[in-house]
Structure 1
Amino acid sequence: MHDTLTVCETFISIQGESGYAGYPCFFIRLTGCNLRCTYCDTTYAYNEGRERSIDDVLIEAERAGIGLVEITGGEPLLQEGTEALARRLIDSGFELLIETNGSVDISGVDERAVIILDIKTPGSGMSDRMDFENLKRLRPQDEVKFVVTSGEDYRWAVEVINEYCLEQRRVLLSPAMGYVRPEELSRWMIADKLGARLNLQIHKYIFGDERGV
């Protein structure tokens, strides 16, 4: 039983992505990542953080008083205490999202959580690290996200969506800021009549690049 975690930061903000975009959310960002994506906007989470008990994190979540919680990173599933934290949060009545980078087996995650599976496109430099078996492990409530840096990334994502019949799921396509304009990605999706949702990082439109919001 692992009762501690290395936590990079915790904060309250507006959920900026996913099918829960727009809702107030309490975020728990864990330290450490096994990938190095070209467009990563949370590189500080690679190493920054301090050890905290699961009890301590749970108390902070309860004090925040927000029913929606997200565990993110970094890559949260690298830490052995993450699954225990997830169970404790859900048992305490929280609705839980876990954002994971697609390279780590998700089968041990509590069935009651919502997994946001971020499949890395070639433009990330990390697409060869994906565990595509995760796409077969998804539960009905889970979501799949692709961050798109180019037209090539978009076409690659469409191929994955078709190969794994993901249109029956909630699929999110996000334009990488500084690489693809939302208008461009929107036009591609409209032209293909793609059964996916345009996913904008609305917290960045609201708060900019400010950390902890």
Structure 2
Amino acid sequence: MTEARLKIYEIFYSIQGESTFAGRPCVLVRLTGCQMRCSWCDTEYAFHGGAWMGLEEVLAKVAAFGCPLVEVTGGEPLLQPGCLPLLTALCDAGYEVLLETGGGLDIAPVDPRVRRILDIKCPASGESGNNRWENLAGLRATDEIKFVVADRGDYDWACGVIAERGLAGVCPLHFSPVWESCPPAELAAWILADRLPVRLTLQQHKILWGKDTRGV
């Protein structure tokens, strides 16, 4: 059987910056490539480049950090066929595994042991027409949903999605502000005023090391 190969942009050890796992030490495996072009994207550098690695090489690099929490991210990691066997191999090795995905591809084939963090694209991203709404039907309590909010229009749209799709109580919901256009305190005020059942999520790695620092 041919070993899965993946185009890896970087593998690094840091503090998990988002989700309910924020603040925990984590190994991040960033895969190259993305089919979306969000207006506020902060990982455009990972659209291209990186190096091809076999599955065993990736696992060895992850193991070298000695950390039980691993996130596979991108770009859009599910674009690469090798992503699914990587996720399963990480689970088999005993890691707690997170997948951060842009929400435009089918998440059903992902190993059920993986915690899937699904990004629902709001209108200001320019990619809201590419959300794969079918993914919502298969969500589990261990999954998470993130809305990146750029302005009041995005906020109102996200509130509508939560209400219309019955997402409250399905899994953790996160609202994360776009740093350049949505002040976190303003987003917090909206959430409090509307008593939303969501978490305000700030990207801790940007607070710690700055918004333009890579590999953190």
Q: TM-score, normalised by structure 2?
A: 0.97
Q: 1:103 to 1:2 in 2, by over 3 A?
A: farther
- Mapped to 2, the partners of 1:76 and 1:47 lie a distance apart of 13
Alpha-carbon distance in 2 for matches of 1:132, 1:182: 27
Instruction: Report the counterpart of residue 91 of structure 1 in structure 2.
Output: 92
SS in 1 for 2:64: helix
Task: Give the root-mean-square deviation of aligned CA atoms.
Answer: 0.8
* 1:151 aligned partner: 152
Q: 1:210 aligns with which of 191, 210, 213?
A: 213
Partner of 1:152: helix, strand, or coil? helix
2: CA distance, partners of 1:20 / 1:165: 24
On the 8 A contact 2:3/2:54 being kept in 1, the answer is no
Q: CA deviation at 1:163?
A: 1.4
Cα shift readout 1:83-141 (whole Å, capped 9, x = no counterpart): 10000001001000000001000000000000000011000000001101111121220
Q: Secondary structure at the match of 1:166?
A: coil
Contact 1:28 / 1:69 at 8 angstroms: preserved in 2? yes
**Does the CA-based 8 Å contact 1:100-1:118 persist in structure 2?**
yes
Q: Which residue in the other structure is 1:136 paired with?
A: 137
In the other structure, the counterpart of 2:74 is 73
Match of 1:189 among 179, 188, 191: 191
Distance 1:57 1:173 in 2: 31
**Equivalent pair of 2:174/2:198 in contact (CA under 8 Å):** yes
Aligned counterparts, 1:1-213, within 5 A: 3-168=4-169, 169-208=171-210, 209-213=212-216
The separation in 1 between residues aligned to 2:29 and 2:198, in whole angstroms, is 27
The Cα of 1:207 is off from its aligned counterpart by 0.6
Give distance in 2, aligned partners of 1:67 and 1:47. 28
Percent identity at matched positions? 48
User: TM-score, normalised to structure 1's length?
Assistant: 0.98
- 1: CA distance, partners of 2:130 / 2:45: 21
C-alpha separation in 2, matches of 1:124 and 1:206: 25
Amino acid at match of 1:212: G
Cα deviation 1:4-63 (Å, max 9, x = unaligned):
000011111100000000000000000010000000011011011111001000011111
Per-residue deviation, 1:2: 5.5
SS in structure 2 opposite 1:179? coil
Deviations 1:177-207 (A, max 9, x none): 1010000100000011000000100110001
Structure 2: distance between partners of 1:131 and 1:105: 7
User: Is the 1:2–1:84 Cα contact (8 Å) retained in structure 2?
Assistant: no
CA contact (8 A) 1:2 1:80 kept: no
| Structure 1: unaligned runs, 5 residues or longer | none
What is the total number of aligned residue pairs between the two structures? 213
1:117–1:145 CA contact under 8 A, matched in 2? yes
Conserved in 2, the CA contact under 8 Å of 1:143 and 1:171?
A: yes
SS of 2:56 mapped into structure 1: helix
Displacement over 3 Å in runs of 4+: none
